[in-house]
Amino acid sequence: MNATPRYSKTEPEVTGIARWRFVTVAIVLCLLALTVTGRLAWLHTIEQPFLFTEGEKRTVRVKTESARRGMITDRYGQPLAVSTRVVDVGIHPARVAPSALSELAQVLGRPEAELIRTVAQARLKKRAFIYLERQLQPDIADKVAALKIEGLQLTNGYRRYYPAGEVAAHLVGLVNIDHQGQEGIELSYDQYLQGDAGKRTVVQDRYGNIVKQVAVSSMAKAGKDIALTIDLRLQYLTYRELKAAVDQHSAASGSAVLLDAKTGEVLAMASQPSYNPNNRALLKAENMRNRAIADVIEPGSTIKPFTVAAALDSGRYTPGTVINTAPGYLRVKHKTIRDHRNYGKLDVTGVITKSSNVGVTRLSADLGAETMWQFLTKAGIGQPSGLGFPGETVGQLPYPEQLDALRLATVSYGYGMAVSPLQLAQAYTSFTQGGCRSPVSVVMDAYSPDDCQSVMKPGVAQQMLGILETVTSNKGTGRRARVEGYRVGGKTGTAHKVGRYGYEDARYTAVFAGVAPLTDPEVVLVVVVDDPKGREYYGGEVAAPIFSRIASQALRLRQVIPDDLTELELGQQVAKGL
């Protein structure tokens, strides 16, 4: 019975059991605290560098800013290639909420279902990043940015516009979607135009707002502008006339080069067929050929003036020296060189007027291979033009050792050699620059008067202009090159095209190379029409009229004073009723 009070006294035994529990709990708690402290210490010391960089990775961004590409303009500042700002819209598929896509589709003007499918597919393929829209107009991009969708990334970029389109496409060239030069000036001056991209290290929040700028490694530096020597007005009309003529004669291709007769600057350079550089989807490689620079032609009779100039420059001939071309053909080795008909006795001037193959063959045989080769080389035939254009051809001129009697004869009238239309035009500037030829240039301020290649004596160049004028006289082969109100000179050329089995009988290249006006030459123009189909195929029939049309408009645009007043005065008398 006493047991009950004793039991109440045994309560400390109960606390004894509680002490054991207490110790266990205390130890566990201590261990927990230790673990937490240990973990903290671990994270702060040993794991710290790793965690720090991981943290940085999520907030710190190195932003590259693409530099604005320089502008390409014509000689008066008219834009030929301009970069405008566009925005690429990309998305991190895993981070974007599907609900946000419908809003986005609305702003982008795309079907919602399609957009959701695109993103879902990218997510399935575990793609980290896809572009939704490239080269978006900035005003639409601003609306996209205003949606503040997570996982969306807007990148500033540029898009290249070519206001002159197909008219100057071959010369200006184009860039690819990443803004790198692919053709033409865009390629050859790529570095100069490009500029330097900028690089900044910044801290960003999750919406892409910049919170803090950590470092600037380099500021974006815009590319430099380039002014070409092209006059866009002349380029337009050259292109228009060339295109019309190529269409009219259903020719395979055509090209025209208009040079400043005094400086050798390229005023216009057109090729057919052309392409629209603003629409990359329709590009065809064969249309992108700059035929004035990249194609070679056999110049045919347009080389004859150089044979004659070489003869005059030797001092042994004058424009009046008589050469016997009878009986209208000449046998050289196993081949017979023929004229159209027997011209009989011609003076040196007449050889050009009538375009006598026999005449120039006799002259070149007398001069010898070495002299001929040297003269043509000085005129720039078979030599690089120095424009540094991609795909530019050097042409071909056989070395003197390769020139036996027959090959020398063929070279004297422009066969067995290859030149680009540009080289031919450049060679003709030696007549207009007083015998000393400046290298052609396509970028402004490249011309310097001291830098010229002496080709012939100034007196000979002057005589040659007179001789070239006879070609457009009533007796000459280039009557249709005449320009009302101006004295013009030039030389026609018709070369058989080379086919699979040597020269083809019925396919031709029609060429005209000319100078206008002769009193004080302003422009040198070469027109090449390749494979005209139809009844007209001679240089004098196909190329000369194009020369006339381009030259007359070019002279008017350049406000050149008419130097052939005889017809004009006649016209005025008619107008006065005299």
Contact residues for another protein, defined by CB under 8 A = 68, 78-79, 82-85, 138, 156, 161, 163-164, 210, 212-213, 232-233, 236-237, 240, 484-485, 556, 562, 565, 567-569, 571-572, 574-575
DSSP letter for 469, please: H
Cβ-proximal residues to 166 (8 Å cutoff; 6+ apart), any chain: 239, 274, 275, 276, 277
454 belongs to the catalytic site? no
How far does Cα 393 stand from its chain's mean position?
A: 14
* 486 Cβ contact list (under 8 Å, min separation 6): 516, 517, 518, 551, 552, 555, 560, 562, 563, 564
Q: Cα 536 vs. chain centroid, distance in angstroms?
A: 32
Distance CA 86, CA 423 (A): 40
Which is nearer to another protein, 231 or 541 (by Cβ)? 231
**Residue 75 is which amino acid?**
R
Rounded Cα–Cα distance for residues 543 and 142 (Å): 53
| Structure token pair of residue 540 | 């004098």
The b-or-e profile of 310-344 (16+ CB within 10 A means b, else e) is bbbbbeebebeeebebeebebebeeeebebeeebe
As given in the structure block, the two tokens for residue 108 are 């982008």
CB of 233 to another protein, least distance (A): 5
Q: Which is nearer to another protein, 246 or 418 (CB)?
A: 246
Residue 189 DSSP class: T
Minimum Å gap between C-beta 556 and another protein is 7
Nearer to another protein, 84 or 121 (CB): 84
- In the DSSP assignment, the letter for residue 416 is S
> Residue 30 has which token pair?
């201590």
* Closer residue to another protein (CB): 99 or 566: 566
Instruction: Quickly count: other Cβ atoms within 10 Å of residue 18's Cβ.
Output: 11
Nearer to another protein, 68 or 437 (CB): 68
Taking Cα atoms as reference points, which of 251, 249, 248, 287 lies closest to residue 271? 287
523: three-class secondary structure by DSSP: strand
Q: Which residue has the tokens 């790529």?
A: 190
Tokens 């406000």 sit on residue: 559
517 near 488, Cβ under 8 Å? yes
CA-CA distances (angstroms) from residue 382 to 291, 385, 406, 426? 17, 9, 19, 12
For the bound state, the minimum distance from the C-beta of residue 166 to another protein, rounded and expressed in Å, comes to: 11
Among residues 253, 301, 355, 412, the one annotated as catalytic is 301
Distance CA 410, CA 537 (A): 21
How many C-beta atoms lie closer than 10 Å to residue 99's C-beta? 8
H helices, E strands: number in the chain: 20, 19
- Contact indicator for 529, 250 with CB cutoff of 8 Å: no
Our CB check for another protein shows the closer of 145 and 465 to be 145
Opening angle at CA 454, ends 450 and 455, nearest 5: 150
C-alpha dist (Å) from residue 221 to 71, 85, 214: 14, 15, 20
**Residues acting as catalytic residues:** 301
